[in-house]
Amino acid sequence: MTAENSQTIYLKDYQAPAYLVDHVALEFDLHPTATRVRSTVKFRPNPNSSSSEFFLHGENLTLLSAYINGAAVTPVITEAGLSCTVPDGPFIWQSEVEINPSANTELSGLYMSNGMFCTQCEAEGFRRITYYPDRPDVMAPFDVTIHSDLPYALSNGEPMRDEGQTRRWQDPWPKPAYLFALVAGEFQVVSDHFTTASGKPVDLNIYVRDGDQDKCAFALEALKASMAWDERVYGREYDLSVFNIVAVDDFNMGAMENKGLNIFNSSAVLASPETTVDGNFERIEAIIAHEYFHNWTGNRITCRDWFQLCLKEGLTVFRDQQFSADMRGAEVRRIEDVAALRGRQFREDSGPLAHPVRPESFVEINNFYTATVYEKGAELIRMLKLLVGDAAYKKALDLYFARHDGQACTIEDWLAVFTDVTGQDLSQFKLWYSQAGTPIVTVRDHFADGTYELTLTQVTPPTPGQPNKQPLVIPVALGLLYPDGTEALDTQLLVLTEAEQSFRFSGLHAAPIPSLLRGFSAPVIMQRETRQAEHLVQLTHDPDLFNRFEASRELGKSALLAMLQTEAAPDDAYCGALLQVMINEDLDPAFRAMCCALPGQDEIARALAEQGQTPDPVAIDAAVHQLSEHLARQGLEALQALYHAHQLTGPFSPDAASCGARALSALALRLISHVDGGALAAKQFARADTMTLQLPALGNLNRHGQGTEAVAQFYQQWRHERLVIDKWFSLQVTTCPANKAVAVARDLLKHPDFNLKNPNRFRALIGALAMTPAAFHQADGSAYNLVADQLIALDDINPQLCARMTTVFETWRRYDGARQALMRAALSRLAAKPNLSRDTKEMVTRLLD
């Protein structure tokens, strides 16, 4: 690797582009191994730049010819791009390059997937298609001409009249190169229509492989709902006459918001009752919305540079969370979003990969599409809305769209609209964007003479490169309950701005129970000495459902920690309380299912680590198993009744109420299986006519050693459905006994359907193994080695995916010395791989630092 391509890039070094682009015309002669790309770009010197240096990004391109104002030129070419002397004033650049889509296994730039041409340009893939200023602050209208004999050839914007094998697309909206897209192939098209609020008709199309036509209806409905929602809630209308979505099997991420031509990982768009579980439907709905919402937050208003990634991602995640809350119930969705935030972002924020929501430096931007940028970025917007209020939030957003439409913006621009609308000084709030780490808020309280005093202290622990932290603005939504469960104080918003602050509440007739951080009003860790009696009251009485869930989690964690630390017996009071919640018909079944699931194993490991203890993943697995069995025995009859009461009849529907009922019956089945060894699961498996029933039944069978035949039968049934086969791979490693998982994974690596080149399949097997704590952390280090071996093989094929997957090691410092040494050795082996990619190198360096 050359020094040139491993340089660190700093936010503070930002410089405006030397040249702006007024127009781009691209012409493609598509060929699987030799595609020609001709570009005609109208450049003009940027009046806001003092530089006149002309540099175009370009990687893996063969330059065939180049012209400036029609005269041939000979640019200086490096690995990163080209430079050239150019005239003063505006000029026209033309070039022709050749690229090889078939050789592109990185899935960045123009590549082939199942015989179709497909692009991925975010963040810096366009430079692998042609020479261009591949940076988001250079925006231009694109005209695209595609020559190909394939039946479909698509690009961004409006389709022009067809001319046989030449297809033309014009995108009138200036955009950065990362939003460019091209797709060509043989497709089946499923179409629908939408009429915007102002009466403009929009054609909606989903392009899929033959055989997938029947899996598009759900995504189309979600798309229409998203379009209507963005009009209603944010006043944002769609701005082209066509909105196209293409499903591809080989894709590094979930989906991509290319202007007018979203490209989706097929797992994020295809759905049918037979092949898709409820959780997939929810995820698909959210991703469709997310990509659609980017049309305004990301595309019409984009990022000045990649340090501002959270400007589009944090806001768009927040918007998709609001949408899902409206579609499926705010409280239940909030609980899921927070669980995901803690599982991924808190984990990231407490380890060697911690970084600010707006990072200040990077080597490879692809390594910063993280839970911190996305999920914590969304939390910052949620807090901002809470602090300024709904009305001011709406005004600020209207101002943002009016002021910045067509621009490439920064976090400063974003915060300025809030300051301008409210007059509030947000300089302290802005620290949330620059300071990494999860703040820990410690609670002390005191009650005397009818007055309750609450003292909150905030500390943000050191993170890489940031030893000292300043106090943040932390909105804490608080309510008070009396010990009998009645409300002593309705929800109030306390705003912390200092390291320590006290609040007093008088006129109380008994010592209250604080219901802190209602709705999870800030992304912090609340630490308070555990008080089981209080949590039991909250679990049944807190008017804030999030805090009921929280009480359940706290009780669950203390029960498990007691089992692990003092070999205590499973906590009967906790189990009894859970069973009461489970059968409480006043509560939404979806909420009951979430509230009564035991804490996840990684969550328990994190809780131990937060207390300064060393988690043993194998012991945690055993304790969870033991507690599940105890709970199941204690409540067997109730669970059986619950299971049968929540069987649905009639046609399958993925609506929120049906999903909730199925989730609750699935929880009951999972527990019952601990007692009946899988007898009920076998019955469910035999009669299952939907994946939501079939898959968990199979999981329970396998978890209790009854899966062999069913696993084989499942494969025969679904061998032609690749998204189902992904599930089949995952299930076997996640539900077998933890000490067998490596052997199971080794066998599956040899299976003819395993394919290192397909990211979904790689994640389904290797990702699933690494995300199953007791399997991954087997004391002999065999899983670490297996994962490292696969990453070493993957790095040459797909560096982005390899780099991303190294995060499975991010918690290595939590564990005992022996495991640490084994993980360090596995990572060092990867680090020592010849020709390690820049992507992976940056990650292993940060992990081992």
Considering the complex, state which of residue 291 and residue 554 has its C-beta at the smaller distance from ligand PHE. 291
Which of Zn ion, ligand PHE, none binds 517 (CB below 5-8 Å, type-dependent)?
none
Instruction: Decide: is 19 part of the binding site for ligand PHE (CB under 6 A).
Output: no
Query: Smallest gap, in angstroms, from Cβ of residue 128 to Zn ion?
Result: 21
Q: Yes or no: say if 86 and 121 are a contact pair by the CB < 8 Å rule.
A: no
Instruction: Decide: is 120 part of the binding site for ligand PHE (CB under 6 A).
Output: yes
Considering the complex, state which of residue 297 and residue 435 has its C-beta at the smaller distance from Zn ion. 297
Task: Give residues 367-396 in contact with ligand PHE (rule: CB under 6 A).
Answer: 369
Instruction: Decide: is 180 part of the binding site for ligand PHE (CB under 6 A).
Output: no
Phi, psi of 468 (to 5 degrees): -115, 140
Which of Zn ion, ligand PHE, none binds 542 (CB below 5-8 Å, type-dependent)?
none
Considering the complex, state which of residue 123 and residue 522 has its C-beta at the smaller distance from ligand PHE. 123
Query: Smallest gap, in angstroms, from Cβ of residue 248 to Zn ion?
Result: 17
Q: Letter for the amino acid at 242?
A: V
Element counts in the chain: helices (H) and strands (E): 30, 31
Task: Give residues 277-336 in contact with ligand PHE (rule: CB under 6 A).
Answer: 290-291, 313
How far apart, in Å, are the Cα atoms of 345 and each of 23, 353, 546, 597, 605?
40, 10, 19, 21, 15
Considering the complex, state which of residue 318 and residue 505 has its C-beta at the smaller distance from ligand PHE. 318
Other C-beta atoms lying within 10 Å of the C-beta of residue 213: 15
Query: Smallest gap, in angstroms, from Cβ of residue 293 to Zn ion?
Result: 8
The token pair at 433 is 């964007």
Considering the complex, state which of residue 254 and residue 461 has its C-beta at the smaller distance from Zn ion. 254
Q: Which stretch binds ligand PHE (CB under 6 A): 65-73, 117-125, 626-634, 778-786?
A: 117-125
Considering the complex, state which of residue 86 and residue 269 has its C-beta at the smaller distance from ligand PHE. 269
Instruction: Decide: is 134 part of the binding site for ligand PHE (CB under 6 A).
Output: no
Q: Does residue 153 have a cis bond before it (omega within 30 degrees)? A: no
Across 329-363, b (16+ Cβ under 10 Å) vs e yields bebbbbbbbbbebbbbbbbbbbbbbbbbbbbeebb
Of the residues 274, 291, 336, 550, only one is catalytic, namely 291
Q: How far apart are CA 771 and CA 733, in angstroms?
A: 10
Instruction: Decide: is 28 part of the binding site for ligand PHE (CB under 6 A).
Output: no
| H or E segment and range at residue 96 | strand 91-99
Farthest CA pair distance, the chain: 89
Q: Which stretch binds ligand PHE (CB under 6 A): 119-127, 757-765, 781-789, 835-843?
A: 119-127
Q: How far apart are CA 243 and CA 260, in angstroms?
A: 5
String of contacts with Zn ion for each residue 289-328, x by CB under 5 A = ------------------------x--x------------
The token pair at 439 is 């703040």
Other C-beta atoms lying within 10 Å of the C-beta of residue 836: 22
Those residues whose C-beta lies under 8 Å from the C-beta of residue 130, and which sit 6 or more positions away, are 26, 37, 39, 58, 61, 95, 97
Instruction: Decide: is 104 part of the binding site for ligand PHE (CB under 6 A).
Output: no
Considering the complex, state which of residue 41 and residue 263 has its C-beta at the smaller distance from ligand PHE. 263
How are beta strands 152-155 and 182-185 bridged, if at all? antiparallel
Q: Which stretch binds ligand PHE (CB under 6 A): 118-126, 449-457, 613-621, 731-739?
A: 118-126
Pick one of 118, 240, 256, 332: the residue that binds ligand PHE (CB under 6 A): 256
Query: Smallest gap, in angstroms, from Cβ of residue 246 to Zn ion?
Result: 17
Task: Give residues 502-531 in contact with ligand PHE (rule: CB under 6 A).
Answer: none
Which of Zn ion, ligand PHE, none binds 137 (CB below 5-8 Å, type-dependent)?
none
DSSP per residue, 129-164: TS-B--STT--EEEEEEEE-SSSEEEESSEE---BT
Query: Smallest gap, in angstroms, from Cβ of residue 201 to ligand PHE?
Result: 26
Query: Smallest gap, in angstroms, from Cβ of residue 323 to Zn ion?
Result: 13
Instruction: Give how many residues touch ligand PHE by CB under 6 A.
Output: 12
Q: Yes or no: say if 767 and 726 are a contact pair by the CB < 8 Å rule.
A: no
Considering the complex, state which of residue 28 and residue 374 has its C-beta at the smaller distance from Zn ion. 374
Q: Yes or no: say if 643 and 668 are a contact pair by the CB < 8 Å rule.
A: yes
Which of Zn ion, ligand PHE, none binds 806 (CB below 5-8 Å, type-dependent)?
none
Residue 269 CB-half CA count within 13 A: 32
Q: Which stretch binds ligand PHE (CB under 6 A): 150-158, 249-257, 495-503, 659-667?
A: 249-257
Considering the complex, state which of residue 94 and residue 258 has its C-beta at the smaller distance from ligand PHE. 258
Which of ligand PHE, Zn ion, none binds 122 (CB below 5-8 Å, type-dependent)?
ligand PHE
Query: Smallest gap, in angstroms, from Cβ of residue 127 to Zn ion?
Result: 21
Which of these, 299, 181, 297, lies nearest to 248 by C-alpha position?
181
Which of ligand PHE, Zn ion, none binds 190 (CB below 5-8 Å, type-dependent)?
none
Q: How far apart are CA 468 and CA 463, in angstroms?
A: 9
Query: Smallest gap, in angstroms, from Cβ of residue 371 to Zn ion?
Result: 13
How far apart, in Å, are the Cα atoms of 590 and each of 333, 336, 596, 656, 736?
10, 11, 10, 8, 27
Q: How far apart are CA 706 and CA 711, in angstroms?
A: 9
Pick one of 41, 110, 112, 122: the residue that binds ligand PHE (CB under 6 A): 122
Query: Smallest gap, in angstroms, from Cβ of residue 520 to ligand PHE?
Result: 22
Residues listed for the chain:
849
Judged by DSSP in three states, 570 sits in coil
Pick one of 253, 697, 765, 775: the residue that binds ligand PHE (CB under 6 A): 253
String of contacts with Zn ion for each residue 257-296, x by CB under 5 A = ----------------------------------------
Q: How far apart are CA 696 and CA 693, in angstroms?
A: 6
Query: Smallest gap, in angstroms, from Cβ of residue 286 to Zn ion?
Result: 11
The token pair at 402 is 């009016």
Pick one of 257, 282, 445, 795: the residue that binds ligand PHE (CB under 6 A): 257
Judged by DSSP in three states, 777 sits in coil
Query: Smallest gap, in angstroms, from Cβ of residue 702 to ligand PHE?
Result: 33
Task: Give residues 697-716 in contact with ligand PHE (rule: CB under 6 A).
Answer: none
Considering the complex, state which of residue 316 and residue 734 has its C-beta at the smaller distance from Zn ion. 316
String of contacts with Zn ion for each residue 552-571, x by CB under 5 A = --------------------
The token pair at 455 is 């003292």
Query: Smallest gap, in angstroms, from Cβ of residue 154 to ligand PHE?
Result: 17
Q: Which stretch binds ligand PHE (CB under 6 A): 120-128, 143-151, 193-201, 739-747?
A: 120-128
Query: Residue 586 burial (CB < 10 Å; 0-12/13-18/19+)?
Result: exposed
Place of tokens 């261009």: 132
Judged by DSSP in three states, 704 sits in coil
Query: Smallest gap, in angstroms, from Cβ of residue 597 to Zn ion?
Result: 28
Considering the complex, state which of residue 219 and residue 607 has its C-beta at the smaller distance from Zn ion. 219
Task: Report the residue number whose CB is nearest to ligand PHE.
Answer: 253
Those residues whose C-beta lies under 8 Å from the C-beta of residue 348, and which sit 6 or more positions away, are 354, 370, 371, 372, 807, 810
Which of these, 373, 401, 397, lies nearest to 384 by C-alpha position?
397
Place of tokens 């994640």: 763
The question of whether 291 is a catalytic residue gets the answer: yes
Q: Which stretch binds ligand PHE (CB under 6 A): 76-84, 254-262, 507-515, 677-685?
A: 254-262
- Contact residues toward ligand PHE (CB under 6 A) are 120, 122-123, 252-253, 255-257, 290-291, 313, 369
Write out the catalytic residue numbers. Answer: 291
Which spans of this chain sit near Zn ion (rule: CB under 5 A)? Answer: 313, 316
